[in-house]
Amino acid sequence: MLHRTIRVETRTREQLVDVTRRVAEAVRETGARDGVVILFVPHTTAAVTINENADPDVQADILAWLRKLVPADPSFRHAEGNSDGHIKSTIVGVSLQVPLVEGRLLLGQWQGVYFCEFDGPRVRRLEVVVS
């Protein structure tokens, strides 16, 4: 197994950050050619997903829908005031796998990898493991 860490700085409370190029660079640094790239977010109010990277309105729509689905609610019992971020992280998920073929991430034409921030701004980590 080969491992790299990507540092992600977010600027707003909720944000989708396109990290596709950074993931591809981290994979290149490992020298791996074929296998599975595992992406893991070691945070409880952040996530990772794959979605369209051609139209930024898609990311805005995703965040707007998640806000409607899980609004910040003062009646949440968790005292830190970020329960909605924990729930959104659970819904989206903290890990994913991408096939690696001949040194390239096997993503579709319009797909990109997004780090999902639900409790920012913060400095976060995205762990990249090639197996």
Residues 115 and 60: their CA atoms lie apart, in Å, by 14
Q: Where are the alpha helices (DSSP H) in the chain?
A: 20-30, 56-69, 83-92
Read off the pLDDT of residues 55-102 as tens digits, 9 standing for 90 and up.
Answer: 999 999 999 999 999 998 778 788 787 889 999 999 999 999 999 999
Q: How is residue 121 written in tokens?
A: 């701004």
> pLDDT digit string (tens) for 22-55?
999 999 999 999 999 999 999 999 999 999 999 9
pTM, to two decimals: 0.95
| Class for the domain spanning 2-130 | mainly beta
Please give the Cα distance from 66 to 88 (Å, whole number). 7
pLDDT surpassing 90 at residue 11? yes
The phi, psi pair for 71, rounded to 5°, reads -75, 155
How much is the pLDDT for 123? Answer: 98
